[in-house]
Amino acid sequence: MKTLTTEDKAYLLEKIRDIPDFPKPGIIFKDITTLLKDAQAFHFLMDHLQARYEEMDIDFVAGIDSRGFIFGAALADRLKKGFVPIRKQGKLPYTTIGEKYALEYGFDEIEIHIDAFACDKPKANVLLIDDLIATGGTAKAAASLIEKSGAHCVEACFILNLTFLRGDDAVKKITPVYSVLEIN
């Protein structure tokens, strides 16, 4: 599988804007819109993801609401696979299954359609993708939801991993994790 050089990673990282104190004081928000609007950088990133996953036995790409939709749909198209959105509770129109996860104060839930991974084999292979992993609550719930649906999550892919928060540790208990870029 293709890996990025240190120079490649630096190139992509410089395309991501830091927004201090957003959404609250002390947080440095990683704004991917600057990477997305740079056609050359976005194309470079998608070439990398395509090269990494084109030889894997993947039936669907699932993207987490909402920025995972951007990368997931583009990658699914390149791989000629179906795309499945993993949405916040109450956003999907058909019968769903859900997975709850803990927040700092309370719980939230994500959902997929009950037939999201229906295909011509007993157990679909699904690649999970999102823009960023921080504490890992949503990503862990998404990987669990894929497994709960009867499919198999072959890997969880994140464009950015805030490694100091160790969110990937929880996800690795369910599926392998690949991060394009890591922020220590």
Whether residue 3 is contained in a domain is answered as no
Quote the mean pLDDT of the chain.
Answer: 96
- Which domain range does residue 118 map to? 57-183
Whether residue 18 is contained in a domain is answered as no
Whether residue 168 is contained in a domain is answered as yes
pLDDT tens, position by position, 1-52 = 578 999 999 999 999 999 999 999 999 999 999 999 999 999 999 999 999 9
CA distance 182 to 61: 22
Question: How many Å separate Cα 9 from the centre of its chain?
Answer: 18
Whether residue 11 is contained in a domain is answered as no
Q: What is the CA radius of gyration of the chain?
A: 16
Domain CATH number, residue 110: 3.40.50.2020
Active site residue 14: no
Q: What is the pLDDT of residue 106?
A: 84
Active site residue 17: no
Whether residue 89 is contained in a domain is answered as yes
Number of domains comprising the chain: 1
pLDDT tens, position by position, 52-88 = 999 999 999 999 999 999 999 999 999 999 999 999 9
CA distance 36 to 32: 6
Residue 150 region by backbone torsions, left for phi larger than 0, else alpha for psi between -120 and 50, else beta: left
Q: What is the pLDDT of residue 3?
A: 84
Q: What is the pLDDT of residue 89?
A: 96
Whether residue 40 is contained in a domain is answered as no
Q: Cβ-count burial of 103 within 10 angstroms (0-12 exposed, 13-18 middle, 19+ buried)? A: exposed
Selecting among 14, 55, 99, 104, the annotated active-site residue is: 104
Residues 6+ apart with CB under 8 A from 32: 16, 67, 131, 132, 159, 160
59 within 8 A of 68, measured Cβ to Cβ: no
Selecting among 54, 67, 109, 182, the annotated active-site residue is: 67
Q: What is the three-class DSSP state of 91?
A: coil
Whether residue 39 is contained in a domain is answered as no
> What's the mean pLDDT in 130-146?
97
CA distance 162 to 132: 8
CA angle, residues 98, 75, 119, in degrees to nearest 5: 55
Whether residue 20 is contained in a domain is answered as no
> What's the mean pLDDT in 91-120?
94
